[in-house]
Structure 1
Amino acid sequence: MWTYKSDVLETSVKWFKDSANREDLERLDDLINSRANEGWEFVTHSYMPNVTATRSAILVTFRKEQ
């Protein structure tokens, strides 16, 4: 059995096309490493663009064996 946990990580700006800034990537790495230290395994991520706002977000999902 697995327990799943998802985090929403807001980006600092909207990403156009497939580009991202270094700061956002470092924050994503920090989140993944932080959760790994807590025993969570990275499962998947998904970019959530927000065309009407100045920022978008990344949905990051982790799992941990019960």
Structure 2
Amino acid sequence: MKREPWYLIDNNVHEMFKFRSLAALKRYAKEHDMRIKRSPIDDHCFYTESYVILPTGYLD
């Protein structure tokens, strides 16, 4: 029986990564400071929380 791969969708850079195991996916997310959530549609898919840099109105 072939195992299904695990997917991570990075919403901030619009990329999709493929992993052989859930542990590898979580390790990658932790190393890259990503907050991840499990997809409500697919059990083998996770996605990152989007972040937005809001303008402050001041010139830095």
TM-score normalised to the size of structure 2? 0.39
When you count strand as a share of all residues, which structure comes out higher? 1
**Greater RCO (Cα-Cα under 8 Å, separation 6 or more):** 1
Q: If you compute each CA radius of gyration, which structure gives the higher value, 1 or 2?
A: 2
